[in-house]
Amino acid sequence: MKNLQPIQSRKIKKNTVISLEKGKIPPQAIDLEEAVLGAMMIDKKGVDDVIDILHSEVFYKESHQLIYEAIHTLFNNTEPIDLLSVANQLRKTENLDAAGGDFYLVGLTQKVASSAHIEFHARIILQKFIQRKLITISSEIIEEAYDETIDVFDLLDDAESKLFEVTQGNLKKGSEAAEGLVKQALDKIQEISNKEGMSGVATGFTRLDELTSGWQPSDLVIIAARPGMGKTAFVMSMAKNMAIDFEIPVAIFSLEMSSVQLITRMISSETGISSGKLRKGNLEPHEWEQLNVKVKNLTKAPIFIDDTPSLSIFDLRAKSRRLASQHGIKIIIIDYLQLMTTGTSQKGGGNREQEISMISRNLKALAKELAIPVIALSQLSRAVETRGGNKRPLLSDLRESGAIEQDADIVSFIYRPEYYGLTEWDDEERTPCEGQAEFIVAKHRNGGLENVKLKFTGHLAQFSNLDEDFGSEFQSKMNVSTSETVLPSAEEAFGSHDNLENDGVPF
């Protein structure tokens, strides 16, 4: 009867993940692990070759993980790395016996004569680790796929997120030789020359496009303003122009407004009918006809809107990768940055400033990974309101984190003097500012700084080129690559009614 208790206690839990590796030996390369660790302890060059490739988790044996952690600690402290120093470090952390003791460490150093081929061996170890991770992830996905209580789209996001973590943590890009980079640069210059200098994604705002040559691939662009300045109106005008006029696929992540509200703004902009009328359905016969005809362009536009509230940076990256893969999106717009979360459930793990720093770093990483521009809207602090004078925004007004300024390639502001009751610009001519706005490029990592004036139609919250004649000349050059169609005027293309609840008051 004494043996019955252990047998009864070995009940399989309902939610236990049945591993796919059951009955098989997990992928591993113990001999190579020993060779790599031994080489690192006898040759400093071996440490330099693989320290940025490996991490302790990639080793299959727990003792090897402890030894590598000791080597990594010594490396970070710029201390010598050899048999004695590694043994001493393990002794400090009370892990020497768990690592196999002095005798085992001596045996590792005797298995190799030099660090030759250590990088090749390290990459095989890394491949075995990735195989083990994929087995574990696949097992978890299979188990969760049988659970009817889990939403299938949550399952997809979770699976993509886990696979992405494996990629990000282990497939690190190495350096490239100048020869290949020069060839890439020359090919890029040739490509740009064929596009008359437009190397990025055109916004349709003429002077802004001339300043930036379009939003550039891999750039993180921050557009900041106080509430009511028209941040959402500006990016929605851009999105409509890119998708309808230039046929550029655009992804919009709206954390504040619903997707239907955003598309209603675009309908209002495209048709010239106020969103108030669209919301109430009080349209005249000619407006119904106008609506039915002009909305067709928007129906075919490659615009993809996700209105998930409190979106985490990890979910954003997963969704963006899927959109890039399935629909070939060329730009991402986020409205707005401060509403995002880190997706971590740790309490007391950091303040909001640290969270924003993490989000901005990940947005920049996403732009580089997908090689497309990422546009993120941001709020400004109330310091703007308390400051005297014209209240033009400054970089120091960026809310919650200086990391936004550090990570961004372009930091820009939207400023409308009329919002503060001003009637003139603060220039020498004291020109009237009625119906005008300013797009201020305050930081431009790869170009110049400029304040670009735009036309602003208050009752519709529309932004357009201030100099229509100049804009028409630019538009005549920007033909869609797939057709001979001439683009509409800037006034028609960039209109966007902004606040659905309060007509004429933009966000």
Q: Which residues are catalytic?
A: 256
The SS3 assignment for 477 reads helix
Q: Omega before 336 cis (within 30°)?
A: yes
Q: Alpha carbon 307 to chain centroid distance? A: 16
Burial class of residue 452 (count of CB atoms within 10 Å of its CB; 0-12, 13-18, 19+): buried
HEC profile for 315-353? Answer: HHHHHHHHHHHHHCCCEEEEECHHHCECCCCCCCCCCHH
Output the DSSP codes for 217-257. TT-EEEEEE-TTS-HHHHHHHHHHIIIIIS---EEEEESSS
Q: Alpha carbon 113 to chain centroid distance? A: 45
| Residues near 306 by beta carbon (within 8 Å), at least 6 away in sequence | 251, 252, 253, 254, 259, 319
Q: Please answer whether residues 47 and 75 qualify as being in contact, where contact means their C-beta atoms are separated by less than 8 angstroms.
A: yes
Buried b / exposed e over 315-342, threshold 16 CB at 10 Å, is bbbbbbbebbeeeebbbbbbbbbbbbbb
Closest CA relative to residue 335, chosen from 377, 305, 367, 398: 377
Q: Please answer whether residues 461 and 506 qualify as being in contact, where contact means their C-beta atoms are separated by less than 8 angstroms.
A: yes
Q: Please answer whether residues 507 and 498 qualify as being in contact, where contact means their C-beta atoms are separated by less than 8 angstroms.
A: yes
Cα angle value 6/9/10 (rounded, 5°) = 95
Sign of CA dihedral 88, 93, 94, 99: negative
The DSSP secondary-structure symbol of 457 reads E
